[in-house]
Structure 1
Amino acid sequence: MLLDLEKPSDVSECQSCQIDEGRFRCLTCSGDQMFCHSCVVKAHQFLPFQKVQEWIGKCFQDKSLEELGFIWHMGHGGQPCPFSDDPQTWEDMPLDTEAGFRPTETINGQAIPTTLTIIHSTGVFVHNVVWCGCPGTKHQQHVQLLKAGLLPASTTRPRTAFTFEVLDHFLIDALECKTSASSFFEKIRRMTNNSFPDTVPVRSYKYSCQHLN
């Protein structure tokens, strides 16, 4: 019975659109539904920390939502900012007076996603983030992250963030189990990839532990 879980269901088409081939499943969601590429991304629009796998013919292989093209839009309930595709928005953006750069990178006047490493209770995730460009927001990335329930590791050009959930999780572990920050972070890395924890994408191991403390 347990071995049956290691193969796709007997239904070959996507169980959402029922058109394309269902090659993806989510280990975090309940049920054994299989999705096509576009439907699995759409189904996880508001679930960025779910673990997805792809059937490659002989077995299931881990696949991140970032690899599948998932984009995390800041603000507007997860929908794209109406100003993010307006080149004038980024051309008029003032330089950061302290750092000397514009907080959002652009190509030909178009905002490009920022790669962000996010530590959550279930593992370390990498996501492409598009910032809100509405007038009056001052384009403060760290403020947009806080509003999304993420604690940025820096207030200037953040590239690493922690969910509030993982911070609460660590607090309880430290109080009840006397878990150190380094041991807790090693656990998160193993939850991400138990076979090869050293390959987990983290920008700075010591830096992450310092923020947990």
Structure 2
Amino acid sequence: MKVWVTEFRDETLDEMLRGEGRGAPEFYAKCGTCQKPDPLWRCARQTCLGPAMYCEDCIVKMHSQLPTHMVEMWSGGFFIPMPLNELAVEARIQLGHMPGTYCPKARFAHKDFVIIDTLGIRTVKLNFCGCDSRISNRQQLMRACLWPATSVDPQTCATFNAIRLFEVQNCLGKISSYDFIRSLELLSNNDGLRPTPDRRRAFRAITRQYRMSEMRKRAGTAHNNGGCKCTERGSLALPCRQCPQPGMNLVEDWDKVNWDEMEEDQRYKHFLWLSQDANFKLINRNVSTEARDPIVDDGSGYFCHRGEYSEHIRKHIDEDEISSCSGFQAMFLANTRRVKGLRVTGVGGVTCARHNMWRPNGLGDLQAGERHCNMDFLFFSAVLNFALMYLILSYDIACQFSQHIWERMTELPEQYHLHIDPSCVRWMVPNFHLPGHKKGCHSPFSFHWLWGAGRTHGETVEQNWEFLNGAAAATKLMGLGARFAVIRVGSADPSSGRFLRFIT
């Protein structure tokens, strides 16, 4: 910076001003393609064609496959931006045919057809192909990498590049769809004289559909004979590849292995390490209704099955909150304060304690603080239909949670019952939370004294909460279905190697 300030600051400013004008004579004296004299046109901000200028015919021809670019014309003292569709009739997008050709049975799209792209929001001229009536307008748009906002008579779509850019920015910077669309509007026209069409609601629908479809693509749903309707419980969640799974990293006939005869230094390979906790920043106000914004694919991702979960909670409406063994009582009482107008007071979750992967069906909403009935259901739901030989659960109040856990399990539906010897289940307290417990809890619940623990600290669920908390402001005012779709998709950080995406 010191070198730039002292030596190159003026040069940089001059080059910026050069870009505002036509540049050197060798670039504006003749058309960059046909060599006609005194060309007036160039690609706005020199997005694709560099500093050269072109005549009107050449600029239209060169942008025939770049409909979302903006061109600008030299007026004698400055450049005037102009959309391609206003420049020439030929600047029309033809779907279903090779570039430069037009369909003899073309069907005109809506005159105000809008494309949301990384370069801005553009109103374009578009033709649908009429050669094959079996191919719908939706399919033609998808095959051109344009995602339609509506299923019937689409008039707005977004490029796949724009959707992917939002996905990354939303994940890493927690940018909302509102801010993303506003930024594209300002890129399109920042003077306010020619406002762009408002497509915020359409873009929210597009991103939600895209994420749901992407989850199904990863899960292989497209190859199922029954299609989306045959989605199994938790199948849309990405499993932790390091946790013990039959056919992947467990020996054959693993369920017939005698645990007592297994060599001691081989047992740790079959440990399932889980971490459980609640988060009271991911609240949700009582806006909209489930009828207006329904949950799609209930129980197929990271959230537990809402129907069965609600039925279990309904049996424990008057149950007191979880007690603590030490000075945590004040914290638990605080969980039920300032909850007026809230549908959800927080979220409970179960994650892999070593690899930071959220467990399928391991997330659930909290209605009145961190209660046994909520956390019990989430714990047993997170290990539903999973191969278990030895289970270790890290929980900041494991000393209280482990008491009478097997009696409470009988209150759940039969499919949630664990078929495992209770002696093969260990209850631990995360290292950071353990000092707050009374001394009698320190040795029995410490990872430092657990064989096979290595450097496991049990705080991974807190790391995942920290990532999700960035979206708390956005999900606070969402409807039920939108919030479920957002949080279940974004359960881990792709930048840390956990691969999932986040939010809307």
Structure 1: segments with no counterpart, 5+ residues? 86-103, 106-111
Aligned in 2, Cα 1:113/1:40: closer, same or farther, shift over 3 Å? Answer: farther
Determine the C-alpha separation between the residues in 1 that align with 2:175 and 2:18.
37
- What are the within-5 Å matches in structure 2 for residues 41-190 of structure 1? 41-69=60-88, 70-84=91-105, 104=107, 114-134=111-131, 136-138=132-134, 140-190=136-186
Q: Does residue 40 in structure 1 map to residue 59 in structure 2?
A: yes
CA contact (8 A) 1:185 1:209 kept: no
- State which of 7, 12, 18 in structure 2 corresponds to 1:4: 18
Determine the C-alpha separation between the residues in 2 that align with 1:184 and 1:6.
26
CA contact (8 A) 2:21 2:79 kept: yes
Determine the C-alpha separation between the residues in 2 that align with 1:6 and 1:170.
29
Q: Does residue 211 in structure 1 map to residue 191 in structure 2?
A: no
Sequence identity, in percent?
27
CA contact (8 A) 1:114 1:130 kept: no
Once the two structures are TM-superposed, the CA of residue 13 in structure 1 deviates from its matched residue by: 3.0
3-state SS of 2:102 partner:
coil
Aligned in 2, Cα 1:81/1:29: closer, same or farther, shift over 3 Å? Answer: closer
Determine the C-alpha separation between the residues in 2 that align with 1:130 and 1:181.
28
CA contact (8 A) 1:115 1:129 kept: no
Q: Does residue 195 in structure 1 map to residue 191 in structure 2?
A: yes
CA contact (8 A) 2:156 2:202 kept: no
Determine the C-alpha separation between the residues in 2 that align with 1:185 and 1:82.
33
Determine the C-alpha separation between the residues in 2 that align with 1:47 and 1:199.
22
Aligned in 2, Cα 1:198/1:31: closer, same or farther, shift over 3 Å? Answer: closer
Determine the C-alpha separation between the residues in 2 that align with 1:179 and 1:5.
30
3-state SS of 2:166 partner:
helix
CA contact (8 A) 2:177 2:200 kept: no
Determine the C-alpha separation between the residues in 1 that align with 2:157 and 2:112.
11
Any idea what the Cα deviations from partners look like across 1:141-191, whole Å, max 9, x if unmatched? Answer: 111111100001112211100111111111111111111111111111122
Once the two structures are TM-superposed, the CA of residue 38 in structure 1 deviates from its matched residue by: 1.0
Counterpart of 2:31 in structure 1: which amino acid? C
Aligned in 2, Cα 1:33/1:68: closer, same or farther, shift over 3 Å? Answer: same
Which stretch shows the higher mean deviation, 136-145 or 32-41? 136-145
Once the two structures are TM-superposed, the CA of residue 128 in structure 1 deviates from its matched residue by: 0.2
TM-score of the pair, normalised by structure 1:
0.78
Aligned in 2, Cα 1:32/1:5: closer, same or farther, shift over 3 Å? Answer: same
Q: Which residue of 2 aligns with 1:95?
A: none
Determine the C-alpha separation between the residues in 1 that align with 2:170 and 2:21.
39
Once the two structures are TM-superposed, the CA of residue 16 in structure 1 deviates from its matched residue by: 1.1
Q: Which residue of 2 aligns with 1:15?
A: 32
Aligned in 2, Cα 1:20/1:39: closer, same or farther, shift over 3 Å? Answer: farther
Determine the C-alpha separation between the residues in 1 that align with 2:67 and 2:53.
18
Query: Would you say how many aligned residue pairs link Structure 1 and Structure 2?
Result: 187
CA contact (8 A) 2:147 2:206 kept: no
Q: Which residue of 2 aligns with 1:96?
A: none
3-state SS of 2:84 partner:
coil
3-state SS of 1:119 partner:
strand
CA contact (8 A) 1:149 1:164 kept: yes
Determine the C-alpha separation between the residues in 1 that align with 2:60 and 2:80.
16
3-state SS of 1:34 partner:
coil
Counterpart of 1:71 in structure 2: which amino acid? R
Once the two structures are TM-superposed, the CA of residue 62 in structure 1 deviates from its matched residue by: 0.8
Once the two structures are TM-superposed, the CA of residue 113 in structure 1 deviates from its matched residue by: 7.2
Aligned in 2, Cα 1:21/1:141: closer, same or farther, shift over 3 Å? Answer: farther
Once the two structures are TM-superposed, the CA of residue 138 in structure 1 deviates from its matched residue by: 3.2
Structure 2: segments with no counterpart, 5+ residues? 1-13, 208-503
Return the index of the structure with the highest Cα Rg: 2
